[in-house]
Amino acid sequence: MEITPSAIQAVIFESIKELNEQLAPEQHLKATPETELLGASGTLDSLSFVNFVAIVEEKLQARFGVMIVLSGEPIASGGRDPFANVATLVEYIALAANGNVSAWK
């Protein structure tokens, strides 16, 4: 299966659905491109965020057969936050899937 932005977004939406099953209703995330994952309007605490990242990584590997690491030095080194919202995460994963993480700015 080709790793397209729409396919990545579908994986993230599936991950949100799975995470929401573990969360209290007031913490539920909406499956929209604009949904904030971190920041002032984000509803995830640190444990929920770690769970979300793990779910996304697992689903990406199961769907596309590639391991994309969504934590660590490249992301933490500054610049735009790929976890600002779903749309930025889709963009980051698309770059990572194509070996272009260095283009993330």
- pLDDT tens digit sequence for 44-97: 888 999 999 999 999 999 999 989 988 765 555 567 789 989 999 999 999 988
Per the structure, the count of domains in the chain is 1
In whole angstroms, give the CA distance from residue 11 to residue 14. Answer: 5
| Number of Cβ atoms within 10 Å of the Cβ of 1 | 7
Give the residue with greater pLDDT, 3 vs 43.
Answer: 3
Domain hosting residue 59, numbered range? 5-103
What pLDDT score does 61 carry? 95
In this predicted structure, the answer to whether residue 13 has a pLDDT above a threshold of 70 is: yes
pTM: 0.89
Phi-psi region of 72 (alpha: psi -120 to 50; beta: other; left: phi over 0): left
